[in-house]
Amino acid sequence: MSKSDQISTVINLRPRPDFVNTKFVDNLTDRALAYIRAGYAVHLRGPAGTGKTTMALHIASLIGRPVVLLFGDDEFGSSDLVGSQSGYSYKRIIDNYIHSVRRTEEDMQQQWIDNRLTVACEEGFTLVYDEFTRSRPEANNVLLSILEEKLMAMPAARKGSGYIRVHPKFSAIFTSNPEEYAGVHKTQDALLDRMIAIEVERLDADTEISITEARAGITLEEATRIVNVVRDFRELSRATITPTVRSCCMIGKVVAVQAAQVWAADESFRQTCRDVLLARLGHGRIDAIELSRAGTLLDDLINQYCATPIAPMGQCDHVCETIQSVN
């Protein structure tokens, strides 16, 4: 594989047109960019559904450099990050310059292929390492010298210098779930000490509403109702998988596709809420009584926040004009 083939694994990001900027998001983005400009890696840490990966890619797009994307994997070894020998290159030369003399040379050598981390360090790209704690600590050890000494130790099998000096424009953004999350490894303290961690907590209500409105393609009032239902269900239920803004977007998109109404009397909307949210309770781990209570709670929340139909946009404009004429 040629160098150009390796670099084809790199992506060029642009800010998403539907990305939502709120005070909460802007604060997190500004902090992350400040740390990166100071030369430090950023670690976005928080539970599932808080938008860590989306935030990481958004921050990377603002840096303005090509992006190398890695996903943590328990099967990773250091070669999956750095590179390895892959296949052989074969060369055969036949020299028949003198008609009566025929000389043949054959040469076969193992071929070294740089993997994405090496390409990013050499070329000064932005590394986004999503869920890096899913990889085993020994696989991530190569990052220690990269983040601190700005040197990358290379295996002897790679011809040339035993070290690569990290490009000054190289930057790194890591994401992870808490240590308690299933399927992750405890990260070595030395690696965590080389990052600046930003705790990505639950999104505030305004941010969840804005994201739901933009991603689901629904109105502000519809998004507000859905978010209110989901947030209260999150606080009051005993869900095994905590409902997040992702649940809000699921409900909103289905509502838009079905042309349903975010209204308590719309059975399609009510059933969608039940399918999306009650599944978070962890069926099989709670009894029928607890499930029934959660269903009643959800119905009550829908009745509370979606008691009346939402007036069509044109009707709202007509009401506003009537009020203005009366005044």
Stretch among 93-107, 227-241, 258-272, 303-317 having the lowest mean pLDDT: 93-107
Contact 178, 131 (CB under 8 A): no
Rounded distance between C-alpha atoms, residue 274 and residue 280, angstroms: 10
- The domain of 303 spans 205-309
Residue type, 296: T
The pLDDT score that the predictor gives to residue 17 is 75
Number of domains into which the chain is organized: 2
158 and 236 belong to one structural domain: no
Average pLDDT (220-228) is 97
HSE-CB at 237 with a 13 A cutoff on CA atoms is: 31
In a domain? residue 103: no
191 and 223 belong to one structural domain: no
Label residue 232 exposed, middle or buried (CB < 10 Å: 0-12, 13-18, 19+): middle
Contact 225, 305 (CB under 8 A): yes
In a domain? residue 59: yes
214 and 283 belong to one structural domain: yes
What's the token pair of residue 300? 């009550």
212 and 241 belong to one structural domain: yes
Percent of the chain at pLDDT > 90 equals 53
Residue corresponding to tokens 């804005």? 210
Rounded distance between C-alpha atoms, residue 304 and residue 317, angstroms: 25
In a domain? residue 88: no
pLDDT at residue 321 is higher than 50 = no
Please, what is the average pLDDT of the chain? Answer: 84
Stretch among 94-98, 159-163, 166-170, 172-176 having the lowest mean pLDDT: 94-98
pLDDT at residue 43 is higher than 70 = yes
pLDDT at residue 249 is higher than 90 = yes
pLDDT at residue 313 is higher than 90 = no
299 and 178 belong to one structural domain: no
pLDDT band for position 112 (cuts 50, 70, 90): low
Rounded distance between C-alpha atoms, residue 132 and residue 187, angstroms: 9
173 and 189 belong to one structural domain: yes
Rounded distance between C-alpha atoms, residue 314 and residue 319, angstroms: 9
In a domain? residue 104: no
Average pLDDT (131-138) is 92
Residue corresponding to tokens 């239902």? 229
Rg (CA), the chain: 27
170 and 243 belong to one structural domain: no
186 and 40 belong to one structural domain: yes
pLDDT at residue 256 is higher than 50 = yes
Average pLDDT (235-260) is 89
The pLDDT score that the predictor gives to residue 19 is 85
The residue ranking higher by pLDDT, 191 or 16, is: 191
In a domain? residue 214: yes
The pLDDT score that the predictor gives to residue 241 is 75
Pick the last residue of a domain from 168, 199, 230: 199
Rounded distance between C-alpha atoms, residue 125 and residue 165, angstroms: 13
181 and 76 belong to one structural domain: yes
Pick the last residue of a domain from 152, 179, 199: 199
37 and 182 belong to one structural domain: yes
The residue ranking higher by pLDDT, 31 or 241, is: 31
| Residue 96: DSSP 8-state | -
The domain that holds 27 is classified in CATH as 3.40.50.300
In a domain? residue 107: no
Where are any strands of DSSP class E within the chain? 41-45, 67-71, 83-95, 103-114, 126-130, 151-153, 163-165, 171-176, 195-199
In a domain? residue 53: yes
Pick the last residue of a domain from 158, 183, 199: 199
In a domain? residue 29: yes
243 and 138 belong to one structural domain: no
250 and 264 belong to one structural domain: yes
**Which residues lie closer than 8 Å to 12 by C-beta, 6 or more apart?**
66, 67
99: left (phi over 0), alpha (psi -120 to 50) or beta: alpha
